[in-house]
Amino acid sequence: MVTGDAAYIKKINRSLIIREIVKEGMISRADLSKTTNLTRATISAQVADLLEEGLIIETHLEHYTVGRKPIMLSLNGHAGYALGIDLDYGEISFTISDLLGCPISSNSVKINTTDYKDILLLLVEQIKKFKADFNESRYGIVGIVIAIHGLVSKEEIIHYVPRLKWHEMNLKSDLEKEIGIPIHLENNANLSSFAERVFLHHETDNLLCTTLYSGIGLGMMMNNNFFRGHEGYAGEIGHMIVVPGGKQCNCGNKGCWEKYASESSIFEYLSEKRQIENLTYEQIQEWLNEGDEEVLDVMEQFIFYLSIGLNNMINMYNPDVIVLDSKLLRMYPDSLKKIRENLNSSISHYRELRISSIGRKSSILGACALAIKQFLDVPMLNLPFHLKTDKDGSATI
């Protein structure tokens, strides 16, 4: 039995109430009492506080034909805003969302430097602009989460970003000194897994999200929490060896999974083979539409090696849901069916295998959602998926 002082119990009850309001979208006081098992007096007192704080709003339910129209409670999405940042090689992307995770504003800044001080100054400048633009709401920007394409420790220190060549950088501390808003750093694949859980897979406790773009990253949600490992570096699944003595990898080993089953490996191979410097998805799609035998063979090999790694992942983690984030898989006909046909071990168990419908936006949307979760102080969020989709089925902001 959980015991504690009155303030602690009030905090727990508040968290339960906010979580249910967000989950249901709109809910009455009576239904809140039923779903949380809290007394009506407790609900009334907590709701009064939340209304006074401007975190929730009341709405009369329209078209209610029996009895009095109930007063419905919902989260005030415009009480504050979350800023998600995707810090990638060559580009920094920014998205502002409301407290319901709906994107309000997005932009990207191209960068031609990897110098830490230059990028720090750029981040400070951009964040201050967002802070000024959204300071008229009740809570302004409630939190900032930055997606890092590399190793981030449990203390949120950047241990290593391969493409930026950053080692042991305390970006969190350096930004907070200048901004005055809580900053959080998280691995980009972890944020992708968080976005999949928060926006789409609401009934999932254990979810793996594998991103297949510039390398292979693995975000892991275990019992609705990030699985980070001993120091925070878990999830570097791209460096699992699938071909002993195979292709040389930058990590120092040979035969790493991402040398065979990442999108970058496909682009590198076809670019070299066909002497095309800036190969695009559109060009690969054209070859697929034409039935180009060589490209079809490359895609079949991609799926073959991808399946080897997935088989290992499934046996290691026994997840509910596995989400594959890859534009090439969305482009290639029957890719999911072909992968499933390769996963025929009698001891491999998982509930669902999906190709991400959020796509490349998942890490930045996950960043916004994590900032919201931390501000509302709830154990988990179930948010509606607001976004439109591109022709390939991935989300667009």
Domain match, 233 and 140 both: no
pLDDT of residue 59: 87
In eight-state DSSP terms, residue 256 is B
Domain match, 183 and 234 both: no
Domain match, 327 and 213 both: yes
Domain end, chosen from 341, 356, 371, is at: 356
Domain end, chosen from 45, 75, 105, is at: 75
pTM above 0.75, yes or no: yes
User: What does the CA dihedral 300, 234, 240, 339 come to, rounded to 10 degrees?
Assistant: -20
End-to-end CA distance of the chain: 45
Range of the domain at 312: 201-356
Domain end, chosen from 135, 160, 194, is at: 194
Q: Indicate if the pLDDT at residue 3 is higher than 80.
A: no
Enumerate helices (H) and strands (E) in the chain, giving the number of each.
13, 18
Q: Is 255 left (phi over 0), alpha (psi -120 to 50) or beta?
A: left
Domain match, 69 and 40 both: yes
Domain match, 96 and 143 both: yes
Task: State mean pLDDT over 288-309.
Answer: 96
Which of 2-6, 109-113, 353-357 shows the lowest mean pLDDT across its residues?
A: 2-6
Tokens of residue 392, six digits: 């390939």
Domain match, 209 and 335 both: yes
Mean pLDDT of the chain: 92
Q: Indicate if the pLDDT at residue 118 is higher than 70.
A: yes
pLDDT of residue 394: 66
Give domain status of residue 379, yes or no. no
| Nearest-angstrom CA–CA distance, 308 and 209 | 16
Tokens of residue 393, six digits: 């089925």
Pick from 49, 55, 56, 46: nearest CA to 26: 56
> In the chain, what is the greatest distance between 2 CA atoms, to the nearest angstrom?
74
Residues ≥6 apart with Cβ < 8 Å to 375:
80, 82, 99, 139, 142, 143
Give domain status of residue 309, yes or no. yes
Tokens of residue 316, six digits: 């290691």
Chain-centroid distance of CA 359 in Å reads 10
Q: Indicate if the pLDDT at residue 37 is higher than 90.
A: yes
Residues ≥6 apart with Cβ < 8 Å to 382:
22, 23, 198, 202
The residue that leads in pLDDT, 241 or 60, is 241
For 124-168, what is each residue's pLDDT tens digit?
999 999 999 998 899 999 999 999 999 999 999 999 998 899 999
Q: Are strands 71-75 and 27-28 parallel, antiparallel or unpaired?
A: antiparallel
Residues ≥6 apart with Cβ < 8 Å to 174:
120
Give domain status of residue 147, yes or no. yes
Give domain status of residue 377, yes or no. no
pLDDT of residue 205: 87
The residue that leads in pLDDT, 239 or 68, is 239
Give the Cα-Cα-Cα angle 233, 117, 368 (nearest 5 degrees): 55
DSSP per residue, 104-169: EEEEEEE-----HHHHHHHHHHHHHHHHHHTTTSSS-EEEEEEEESSEE-TT--EEEETTTTEEEE
Domain match, 259 and 295 both: yes
Give domain status of residue 396, yes or no. no
Q: Indicate if the pLDDT at residue 374 is higher than 90.
A: yes
Pick from 194, 107, 124, 114: nearest CA to 158: 114
Give the CATH number, domain containing residue 53.
1.10.10.10
Domain match, 205 and 346 both: yes
Give domain status of residue 138, yes or no. yes
Domain match, 225 and 262 both: yes
Which of 78-87, 258-267, 339-348 shows the lowest mean pLDDT across its residues?
A: 339-348
- CB contact at 8 A, 239 and 256: yes
Give the CATH number, domain containing residue 242.
3.30.420.40
Domain match, 184 and 288 both: no
Q: Which residues lie across from 107 on neighbouring strands?
A: 94
Domain match, 216 and 327 both: yes
Domain match, 112 and 55 both: no
Task: State mean pLDDT over 270-297.
Answer: 95
Helix ranges (DSSP H) in the chain: 6-24, 29-36, 40-53, 116-133, 171-179, 188-199, 258-261, 263-274, 281-290, 293-317, 327-331, 335-342, 362-376
Give domain status of residue 393, yes or no. no
**What is the number of structural domains in the chain?**
3
Give domain status of residue 367, yes or no. no
pLDDT of residue 1: 37
pLDDT of residue 368: 98
Taking residue 41's Cβ as centre, other Cβ atoms within 10 Å add up to 9
